[in-house]
Structures are given as structure tokens and as C-alpha cells.
Structure 1
Amino acid sequence: MELADKVALITGSTGGIGGETAQVMAAAGAEVVITGRDARRGATTVEAIRNKGGVARFVAADLADLTALRRLAEEAGAVDILVHNAAVFPNAPTVSQDVESFDAALAANVRAPYFLTAALAPAMIAKGSGSIINVSTLGARVGMPGLSVYSATKAALESLTRAWAAEFSPAGVRVNTVVPGPTGTDGVLASAGEEGTRRLARTTLLGRLATPREIAEVILFLASDRTRFITGATIAAGAGRPAI
């Protein structure tokens, strides 16, 4: 198994793309550290992985809380793979955006990945290997009304990918970004509704939404040694969406 003897920490991994990423990495042999705010959902994800013979554990953490973030880094220990998937998703026109949700998005989407990386990268550097994967959004490159804050935080995360690649890759630690296109997570399906889902599907060249598993497979690919010569890259998994 290609991730045998590796430890992977995936933020926001109690469901959706993060949960599927945990599943595929565990199936590939990694010991997976699940983290999120919902202990019940975390336990469900861990149980699903263990039922298939995988190895997983859950560490509860609110990534907007720096104390919780430091505790997560300590409890996770040395990791080989770090996936920054968790995010806060404010949705408001700029003229209506409140300061509280603005600050919450910056804390969860930029500050948390920054300081979690700062805490965990030294062990990767000392080992001479590691893979850090940031999960972004099409909104970081395509203007979308109502998503100014979310898009800006993800654009910042993409910029961090390039900076971290320049800092860490000479020591053997690769850093890349995955940009999912419209994906049929439970949250998207519930918020968009049937007609909204059809409209989203029509924005892709394939005429459908991605499944969370399809995005997870791209993340797995970047985590594996199959991509050991790829760093500082932004990989679009959007069925051509950035092109149209």
C-alpha cells in the first residue's frame, strides 16, 4: 500500500471531501488523524475506517482557537502528510459583510493552516520528507458574488502554497494545492437544492458535479510518492470549470 507507515492529519475530516480523503488514505495504508469540532461525526468516521481494516483516531479541535490548534499539533505528533481542508464559508455581499464572520474566516482559513504548518513542518524537515496539501476553491481565481471573504482567504492559502514550497521543498517537503470544482457534498446538495445542483452541474465541461471521492483521489495522488517531483503546484479538479 502506497501510504504504508505514514501518518496523515486531515483537517475538517468528519465528512465531505475531508472525510473521503481520510477514507482513501486509510485504505492506502496511512494512519489517519481525523479532526473537527463534532466528536460524534468524528467517531463515526473513525469507526467507518476501522471497520474496513484501517487505522484512525479522532482529535477534537476548533481550529479558530490557537490553544486548541497547539493541542492538536501535540496530540497528532509527527506526521508525514498534512491536508488543510477545514474552512469557514461566509456568504454575503461585501457591503453586508459583518466583521465577526470576516474575522472567523481569516482565523479558520488562513491563520489555522499557517500555524498548524509552522508547528508540524519542522518534524517533516528533520525527516527529509513530507507532503502538505492545501484545499482551495475556484473562487480564488473566478469572481463569484457573495464570496469575497471566502475567496480571498483561499487565494491567500494558494499564495502560502508557493511560499511554503520555496521554504520547505529544499528539505524534501512538498507543498501543493488542490482546487475542487463543484462537488456533491451533503452541504452543497442541501443548500443548492435540486435546481441549484443542476445549474452547478451545467457549469462544468462534464456536465455533472464531482463526488467527494473524486476530489479525495486527487489529494491522495499528491500525497503519494507518485508525485514526488511536484511541488508548488496548483492542481484544478474542476471538470474544466476554470476554462469556461
Structure 2
Amino acid sequence: MTQQTTQYAARQRLLDRTALVTGSTSNIGRSIAQALAAEGAHVVVSGRNAQRGEEVVADIRERGGKADFVAADLDGSPAASHDLAAAATEALGGRIDILVNNAGIYSPPVTLADTDSETFDRYYAVNVKAPYFLTQAVAPRMVADGGGAIINLGSWVARLGTPLGGLYASTKGALETLTRAWAADLGPQGVRVNAVSPGVIRPPELDPAVDFAGAMTRGTPAGDAGHPDAIGAAVVYLASDDARFVHGTVLDVDGGRAGVAVIAN
């Protein structure tokens, strides 16, 4: 099966809104930033690599969108997250309407026996503490401004056990739990909080000859890895008024991996 870019008609559902997307200099984060900008949002692209970030910004602008780059190394410290929130708010003219907590680390996948304290702490710092303190900084201002939308990035491995990657899976399980808790806390104050749970997503720049998905997608309805644009489209939906009645949900965009078995593996 040949994987192609997901195509959908932009309807300017996010016109005049602002968005911060962490880890948006490549792959899934890049597609999210591009999709939000295509729907009219002014997007802050954020990450550690300034060159790649500026390339994403240039691409968005060439398509007629609005974007700026803000460098950030989200190491899990409150200061790093709060500094990004302040810089992004300034770049966006004083408000953040949409926050996408996408930045995270996966490599190297480690087993239970191989995990040391430093690796454990680094995974939780980047994948849990960083979005926690970024949300802490952004959410009160959203409430004061009359509302907003926060979208976290989970993962299919948070609910379907695999032999490797348990540490990473546990961080994504934590973020999905925080999604529900924050929805309960912030929803009554006008801020919707939801999550997207991607399945196996193939980097677009990867050589097509490389068997990227392998057994991970065998037996699923989709039968193959997904394209990052599918995640971008899901985030646009959750950020838009189309999802005005959606709170605390985790939207699976995984080709059926976590919930459906066509062929038992």
C-alpha cells in the first residue's frame, strides 16, 4: 500500500486564532503547525533546531499562512516551559488560543532491565513535566481571555502493551490521564482539553523502500503506517468549534491499532 499525504479542504475554521505547537520542527509537529496555519491560525513553531524551525515557518508563509519561530529546549524545568509561554505569547500578539503539547522523546527504546535513573528522569522530564508546566503557564491566561483549546499528544502504546518502550508508554499514559484531569479542571472555565493518540506514523522523508511499520500495523484495518497529516487534521478538529462539545477525550488516529483486530497477531 502506498502511503500518501492526507488531503482535506481548509475551511478557515481557526481564522484570527493563535496557536503554540511544541516540537513542531519536523514530522508530526510540523504537520500540525501546517494544518493549523492552513485553517487561518497564527502559529508559533517551537523546537530546539532553529534552522528546521525557520524552514517550517518559511513553508507556512509561502502558502499564505502566518507563523513565527520561537526556540525552546523543554527540559522539564518550570523555567523552560514558562519562558516559552511568555515568548510565544509575545510573538502571537498577547494571547495563545490553542496549545498543542507535542514535543517528546522516544529514542532510545529501553527495556525494564536496561533503564537507569537518568534515562527514566529524562523521559518524564520531557514527556510529562514539560507539558505540565507549559499548561500551567498558558491555561490561566486562556481562562482570563475567555477560553481556549489544549491538545496533548498521547500514543497507541499507552493502551496496548508492547515488549519494548514501556517507559515511553508510561509517560504517554500519564499525559492522557492529565488530559482528563485538566478537562475536569479547566472545562468549566472555558478551556477545552483533549488529546490525540497517534498510531504508527511514517516520517514523510523516510525512504519508501524502508519497511518502517513491519509487524506493528499487521492485522489492523488500515494495514499500514499513517501520514503525519492525519494527526494534523485531528488536531485541527479538536482545536476548532466543530469540537465545542468535546472535552477530556483521547482521539485515536492509529489505523485501528489499539481497538480493532482484523487478524490476530
Partner of 1:44: 55
Any conservation in 1 of the 2:81–2:137 contact (CA below 8 Å)?
A: no
Partner of 1:28: 39
Partner of 2:253: 237
Any conservation in 2 of the 1:128–1:172 contact (CA below 8 Å)?
A: yes
Instruction: Indicate the larger mover: 122-131 or 47-56.
Output: 122-131
Q: Distance in 2 between matches of 1:8 and 1:178?
A: 16
Any conservation in 1 of the 2:158–2:173 contact (CA below 8 Å)?
A: yes
Q: Distance in 2 between matches of 1:107 and 1:201?
A: 29
**Aligned residue type for 2:137:** A
1:169 matched to 2:181? The reply is no
1:226 matched to 2:242? The reply is yes
Map residues 114-153 of structure 1 onto 2, 5 A cutoff: 114-153=132-171
**Aligned residue type for 2:32:** T
**Aligned residue type for 1:85:** N
Q: 1:86 aligns with which of 103, 110, 130?
A: 103
1:207 matched to 2:207? The reply is no
* Structure 1 counterpart SS, 2:210: helix
Report % sequence identity: 45
Partner of 1:71: 83
Structure 2, unpaired ranges of 5+:
1-11, 90-94
Map Cα deviations across residues 112-139 of structure 1 (whole Å, 9 max, x no partner). Answer: 0100000000111112211000111111
The structural deviation recorded for 1:198 is 3.9
Any conservation in 2 of the 1:204–1:238 contact (CA below 8 Å)?
A: no
Q: Distance in 2 between matches of 1:170 and 1:193?
A: 49
Any conservation in 1 of the 2:150–2:193 contact (CA below 8 Å)?
A: yes
Q: 1:18 aligns with which of 15, 29, 41?
A: 29
Any conservation in 1 of the 2:200–2:213 contact (CA below 8 Å)?
A: no
Aligned Cα RMSD in Å? 1.7
Quick check: which one's helix share is greater? Answer: 1
Q: Distance in 2 between matches of 1:68 and 1:107?
A: 11
The structural deviation recorded for 1:88 is 1.0
* 1:196–1:31 CA distance, 2 compared to 1 (3 A): closer
The structural deviation recorded for 1:98 is 2.1
Map Cα deviations across residues 14-52 of structure 1 (whole Å, 9 max, x no partner). Answer: 011110010011011000000000001001000000111
Any conservation in 1 of the 2:180–2:249 contact (CA below 8 Å)?
A: yes
Map Cα deviations across residues 179-207 of structure 1 (whole Å, 9 max, x no partner). Answer: 111111258x57x9723434334242121
Any conservation in 2 of the 1:11–1:36 contact (CA below 8 Å)?
A: yes
The structural deviation recorded for 1:214 is 1.0
Q: Structure 1 length normalisation: TM-score? A: 0.94
* 1:103–1:15 CA distance, 2 compared to 1 (3 A): same
Structure 1, unpaired ranges of 5+:
none
* 1:239–1:222 CA distance, 2 compared to 1 (3 A): same
* Structure 2 counterpart SS, 1:194: coil
Show structure 1 runs of 4+ deviating over 6 A.
none
The structural deviation recorded for 1:209 is 1.2
Instruction: Indicate the larger mover: 211-220 or 178-187.
Output: 178-187
